[in-house]
Chain A
Amino acid sequence: MTTSILFLVFQVVAVPTFSPLMIGIIRKMKARLQGRVGADIFQPYRDLRKLFSKDEVISSDASWITRFAPYVIFSITLLLGATVPLVTAIAPMIPGRPDLLLTATGDFLVIAYLFALMTFFLALAGMDAGSGFGGFGSSREMMVAALAEAGLIFSLLPASFLAGTGHILDMIGQLENLPMTSAFPLFVAFLAFLIALLAENARFPVDNPATHLELTMIHEAMLLEYSGKRLALMEWAGANKLMIFIALAVNIFFPWGVAFEFSSLQSLAVPVLIFSVKSLGLLMLIALIESLMAKFRIFRVPDLLFTSFVLGMIAVVLTVSLTV
């Protein structure tokens, strides 16, 4: 009973707790790759605390959308964070109520569309204050989101076909036992997913998370009018989203070392270690991409996103021909 409550709490708070750390690690790695010392990896936590303790300015042109959107966006990331498998592929359960599985959002289409719901409110919030920056940020974000969704869904589809289920938790359980022949389509799908990850999380080469230059910013442009606690929520939600994507990537495409049973906290030590190593590897990859590549010109971005879609398509075709 206590362990299952503990597990539930862990599942709910894990993503918001560790997501700023991931941002901190990427920044640190980038700094070292670029020959700087960089802030330490806990700096994002301090940034959040600072923002939460600040007063707030809201535009006089803004409507309730601006006030409401950060809560919706943050809540969606919390909800998805509670379902997405991190170190365990066990459905978190409300104690004593086995019918109330917290896996309602476990279907990969539901996950993709809940991210779309986030994007919807984010883009509206960007337009709400009537600033030219925000408007163009929203316009570009919608362009990227409209095209990235295809890559996202098609990159998760091979795993779903191989596992014969659309549910993330079941998928991981099935994928671990697959023969090595299925590794190739999964690897192609991973490339597609990686591009979708970079695009959805406003990373290089689609967007620059550190810029505030009018001509280049996408994600930051939409947050330009935010300050104080709402900005903190938006930043935090962004970090959560990155962590959810990383968890999806490492657990679906490299489904080794995920715990399927939960007996004691000690038994989780190895899965936690494996998860940390896998996600550190992926963070390193992102940091490398961000240091080695230049940001794409905005009209080169669609080429990249179509590449993601085509890779996903190839992976689907490979999977389907494998399974027949």
Chain B
Amino acid sequence: MEFFLTQEALFLFVGLFLFGAIASFIADVWMNDGGRLANLLAHGAAMIGSFVGFIMAVVVLVNGRGVNWEFESAFPLLELSFRLDGMSAFFLGLSACIGVLASIYGYGYQRHFIGSGRLGSYGFFYNLFVGSLLLVGVANQALFFLLIWEMMSLASYFLVVFEREKIENVRAGFLYFLMTHFGTAFIVLACLLAYHATGSFSFDAWREAFGTLSSGTEFLILSSALIGFATKAGLIPLHIWLPEAHPAAPSHVSALMSGIMVKTALFMLFRFFFDFFQGARVEWGVAFLIIGAISAILGILYANAERDLKRILAYSTVENVGIITIAFGAGLALFALDQERVALFALAAAFYHLVNHAVFKSLLFFGAGSVVSTTGTRNTESYGGLIRVMPYTAAFFLIGSLAISALPPFNGFVSEWLTFQVLFVGIVGAPLAVKSAFLFALAALVFTSGLALACFVKVFGITFLARPRTDGAKDACEVSWLMLSPMALLSIATLALGLFSSHVLSALTGVVASIGLTNPATLRFPFLEIIASRHAFADVLPLAMIAIFLVITLAVVFMTIRIMTRNRTVTIGPTWDCGFPLSGRNEITATSFSRSLVTIFRGVLRPTRQSMIEYHDEQTRYFVKAASIETGLQDIYRERLYYPAGKMLHFLADRIRRIQTGNVNMYILYLALALIGALLWAARA
């Protein structure tokens, strides 16, 4: 096991991804097998590489001591510095788990594209993507981090436009490209400001400077970091790329993007606000609470209004990122209010939800991918009745839906419960202004969980229940075991993370405490003590007990009823059809299922409706020839925020263009003026 703490392990880990990237590319070019070998190499290397990363993370977590590796590079200021401490090992372990499963799933999923001549380049970018995804939390130097961050963004861009024959995918890719670089610009700015203030790009140097920076500089650094990482995390209103880009990518890549990539941003926010700089201020806490609350509630509202299966999941990612942000903000505020233990608890809740969301969102994206690959469409209106042809996928998807709707005894409930408790503490204990932010976040969280329930009833019911609506759904079949087994493992993980919540929570508290918020000696306390200090709000959540009781009750009820009614028969008959034979068109659709909710929240969602009726007889208007109706939502972010911003940019550019007269004499004048200005400035210094 010691091997996994050495440099060789790191080289093996990184080398496997590089090998996968290059080998699959070469295999596709040289072998004439339509990309079969490339597919195997791409996913095999990524899987083994992720597995090595996973073991490294586990060894670090078990040993309880971190490792550092540093390599000089040929470039000035750039240093290849790796740091595996408790936090990054935790994050590496989580990402690597999902990476292994996504690679297994991807091997099955991408077999559709054998013969398309695209798997070579896909394998190249997939390996770069997974590799950079795993390394981004381990990087310990700002420039090196930015390099990996950019690699992650670019590789994922190429994965988003994988099916490039569809125009909407190319558009989604472009939007993603644009937005991710908007975010990166702010991250670069934050890093440069930090360099200016501390004189170093090394994260360790930033840690050493903790608390010594002036509050103005710190505010600038942290607000740039917030804008930059919020773009990647998909917090509203910087989310617009997320529901476009995540659905466009192949499903296992969507799972990695939604499950892990948005979390890297949250992870880095955590690093910036707690680890590097003193971000634990009440104002930041309130800001995070409000941003998180808005993202959570709007995200799930948009998810309700969607009918594209993968877009629903993408919007629900926005919602869940919002929930994590709420817990994170509560942690910041409570930490600043000297309630360190509750703050620690809040951070643990945030990380718990981060893990949970990675697990069940990957599960749901895998399930969605199976459905999409067998029916050939992402439109939920074309599904129906898939529970009969895809029983395993349906069962796994049901578990994922229950978990994401935060229903006990699954894992989503635990982290939401914890977030609730933290918010309660804030509402009772914080000063008035902060209290109202907590109350606002609580209200948003309560509505969010109700709306998430409605959303996932819709998704599961419309996709898997009742009769097939199209031939595509009728002819669907179950996917291969390669795609089912990752889902099965994630379903087990979902349940286990719920049932053994107290163990998970104490482990997470340890991880959070390991970065040493204050004096580490005061923070290494056992789990039970935290529970006792939480204003005695509730006992430890005995989710395993609830599950056992539920199963026992269910078994007793089932057997009793069975014995009581053993003489009764069960007849299978058609659904009551009111005398008119039922078809797939008599069922409720996804649009009409959520129409009432959309109508209630029309002030926010801005539903649009365009209808057109043509008559045979224009005067009397009795006989309709053709009628059409088009419903959708108005995209208020683009109309109110992005288009005006774009227009403003155009306007400014137009103004500035006036100095470009084309006259050479003018340019010489500019040169002369600039020179004089520079000389004056130099003379002043």
A147 within 8 A of B: yes
The reply to whether B407 and A113 contact each other, CB–CB distance below 8 Å, is yes
- The answer to whether A128 and B449 touch across the interface, beta carbons within 8 angstroms, is no
Q: Does B388 contact A (CB under 8 A)?
A: yes
A95 proximal to B (CB < 8 A): no
Stretch in contact with the other chain, from B23-31, B337-345, B540-548: B540-548
Write the nearest CB–CB distance from A323 to chain B, whole angstroms: 7
* Contact segment of A28-36, A134-142, A256-264: A134-142
Given contacts A63-B465, A166-B537, contact A130 B597 (CB under 8 A): no
A75 to B385, CA, bound (A): 27
Size bin of chain A's contact surface: 35 or more
Provide the B586-612 mask, 1 if CB < 8 A to any CB of A, else 0.
111000111111011000000000000
In chain B, positions 407-437 with a C-beta closer than 8 Å to chain A are 407-408, 413, 417, 420-421, 424, 427-428, 435
Chain B 533-561, CB-CB to A under 8 Å as 1, else 0, gives 00111110110011001100110011001
Q: Are B550 and A75 in contact (CB under 8 A)?
A: yes
Is the CB of B628 closer than 8 A to any CB of chain A?
Answer: no
Q: Is A234 an interface residue (CB 8 A)?
A: no
Map CB proximity to B onto A43-59 as digits: 1 under 8 Å, 0 otherwise: 00000000011111111
**Looking across the interface, which residue of chain A has its beta carbon closest to that of B394?**
A63
Among the stretches A1-9, A177-185, A221-229, A273-281, the one at the interface with B is A221-229
- B408's partner among A57, A113, A140 (CB-CB below 8 A) is A113
Complex alpha-carbon distance, A60 and B572, angstroms: 6
B574, A60: Cβ atoms closer than 8 Å: yes
Say which one of A203-211, A246-254, A312-320 lies at the interface with B: A312-320
Q: Does B620 make an interface contact (CB < 8 A)?
A: no
A164 with B535, Cβ < 8 A, contacts A136-B588, A142-B458 known: yes
Chain A interface mostly: helix
Which residues of chain A from 139 to 181 have a CB within 8 Å of any chain B CB? 139-140, 142-143, 145-150, 153-154, 157, 160-161, 164-167
B457 interfacial contact with A, CB 8 Å = yes
Q: How far is the CB of B471 from chain A (nearest CB, A)?
A: 16
Cβ-based interface call for A105 (8 A):
yes
A166 touches B538 (CB 8 A): yes
Task: With A61-B466, A110-B408 as known contacts, state yes or no: A149 contacts B450, CB within 8 Å.
Answer: yes
Contacts of A128 in B (CB 8 A): 461, 465-466
At the interface, yes or no: A76 with Cβ under 8 Å from chain B? yes
Residue of B nearest to A100 (CB): B545
Q: How far is B305's CA from A194's CA once the two chains are assembled, in angstroms?
A: 30
Complex contacts, B561 vs chain A, CB 8 Å: 71, 229, 233
Q: What is the CB-to-nearest-CB distance from A113 to chain B, in angstroms, rounded to a whole number?
A: 5
Known: A63-B387, A138-B461. A75 touches B557 (CB 8 A): yes
Q: A65 within 8 Å of B by Cβ?
A: yes
Q: Is B77's beta carbon under 8 Å from chain A?
A: no
CB interface residues, B 385-404, toward A, < 8 Å: 385, 387-388, 402
Which chain B residue has the least Cβ–Cβ distance from A124?
A: B461
Given A59-B573, A79-B553, A135-B587, A120 and B405 touching (CB < 8 A)?
yes
Least CB distance from B391 to A in Å reads 9
> Which residues of chain B are within 8 angstroms of A309 by Cβ–Cβ distance?
443
Check if A109 is an interface residue, CB within 8 A of chain B. yes
Q: Which of A76, A146, A228 has the most CB of B within 10 A?
A: A146
Q: List residues 55-84 of chain A with CB under 8 A from any CB of chain B.
A: 55-65, 71-72, 74-76, 78-79
Q: How long is the Cα–Cα vector from A317 to B438 in the complex, in angstroms?
A: 12
Please report which residues of chain B, range 366-391, place their CB below 8 angstroms from some CB of chain A when the two chains form the complex. 384-385, 387-388
Tell me whether A78 and B553 are in contact (CB under 8 A). Answer: yes
A132-B587, A165-B536 are contacts. A60–B405 as well, Cβ < 8 Å? no
A123 near B564 (CB under 8 angstroms)? no
- In the bound assembly, the distance between CA atoms of A63 and B574 in angstroms comes to 13
Report chain B residues within 8 Å CB of A124: 457, 460-461, 465
**Cβ of A123 and Cβ of B461 under 8 Å apart?**
yes
Most buried by B among A132, A138, A145, A148: A132
In residues 313-337 of chain B, which contact A (Cβ within 8 Å)? none
- Residues of A with C-beta under 8 A to B424: 157, 160-161, 166
| Contact between A116 and B538, CB atoms less than 8 A apart | no
Partner of A225, one of B388, B464, B576: B576
Enumerate chain A residues within 8 angstroms of B384, measured Cβ to Cβ. Answer: 130
Nearest chain-B residue to A321 (Cβ)?
A: B432
CB distance A139 to B428 under 8 Å? no
Q: Is B467 an interface residue (CB 8 A)?
A: yes
CB of B624 closer than 8 Å to a CB of A: no
B683 at the interface (CB under 8 A from A): no
Partner of A55, one of B417, B454, B568, B575: B568
**Complex Cα–Cα for A59 and B570 (A):** 10
A56 to B568 Cα, complex, angstroms: 7
Residues of chain B contacted by A145 (CB below 8 angstroms): 450, 453-454
Q: Which residue of A lies closest to B417 (CB)?
A: A109
Q: In whole angstroms, how far apart are the Cα atoms of A107 and B542 in the complex?
A: 10
| Interface of chain B residues 23 through 44 with chain A (CB within 8 A) | none
Verify if B582 is at the interface (C-beta below 8 Å from A). Answer: yes
Cβ distance A98 to chain B, nearest Cβ, rounded Å: 14
Q: Tell me if A135 and B593 are in contact (CB < 8 A).
A: yes
Q: Are A104 and B546 in contact (CB under 8 A)?
A: yes
Indicate whether A114 reaches chain B with its CB closer than 8 angstroms. Answer: yes
Interface residues of A in 264-307 (CB under 8 A from B): 298-299, 302
Assess whether B466 is in contact with A320, with CB atoms less than 8 Å apart: no
A216 within 8 A of B: no
Measured in the bound complex, the distance between the Cα atoms of B537 and A32 in whole Å is 45
Is there an interface contact between A53 and B568, defined as CB atoms closer than 8 Å?
Answer: yes
Asked if B569 is at the interface of the complex by the 8 Å CB criterion, the answer is: yes
Would you call B538 and A56 a contact (CB within 8 A)?
no
Q: Enumerate chain B residues within 8 angstroms of A129, measured Cβ to Cβ.
A: 466, 575
- Establish whether residues B427 and A316, one from each chain, have CB atoms under 8 Å apart when the complex forms: yes
B542–chain A nearest beta-carbon distance, Å: 4
Tell me if B542 and A150 are in contact (CB < 8 A): no
Q: Does A213 interact with chain B (Cβ within 8 Å)?
A: no
Within 8 Å of chain B (Cβ to Cβ): is A127?
Answer: yes
Contact A107–B550 (Cβ < 8 Å): no
By a CB distance below 8 angstroms, the chain A residues around B554 are 71-72, 75
Indicate which residue in B402, B450, B464, B599 contacts A150 across the interface (CB closer than 8 Å). Answer: B450
Q: Are A102 and B549 in contact (CB under 8 A)?
A: yes
Residues of B bordering A, CB below 8 Å = 384-385, 387-388, 402, 405-408, 413, 417, 420-421, 424, 427-428, 435, 439, 443, 446-447, 449-451, 453-454, 456-458, 460-462, 464-467, 535-539, 541-542, 545-546, 549-550, 553-554, 557-558, 561, 564-565, 568-577, 582, 586-588, 592-597, 599-600
> 18 pairs across A/B with beta carbons < 8 Å?
A59-B572, A59-B575, A71-B558, A75-B554, A79-B550, A113-B408, A120-B457, A127-B588, A130-B575, A132-B586, A142-B453, A143-B454, A150-B447, A157-B424, A165-B537, A165-B538, A166-B424, A298-B596
| A residues adjacent to B (C-beta < 8 A) | 52-65, 71-72, 74-76, 78-79, 102, 104-105, 107, 109-110, 113-114, 116-117, 119-120, 123-124, 127-133, 135-136, 138-140, 142-143, 145-150, 153-154, 157, 160-161, 164-167, 224-225, 228-229, 233, 298-299, 302, 309, 313, 316-317, 320, 323
List 4 additional A-B contacts (Cβ < 8 Å) besides A149-B449, A157-B424, A166-B538: A58-B573, A61-B467, A133-B576, A154-B446
A-B pairs with the 10 shortest C-beta distances? Answer: A135-B588, A130-B466, A166-B538, A146-B450, A127-B461, A142-B454, A104-B545, A149-B450, A75-B553, A59-B575
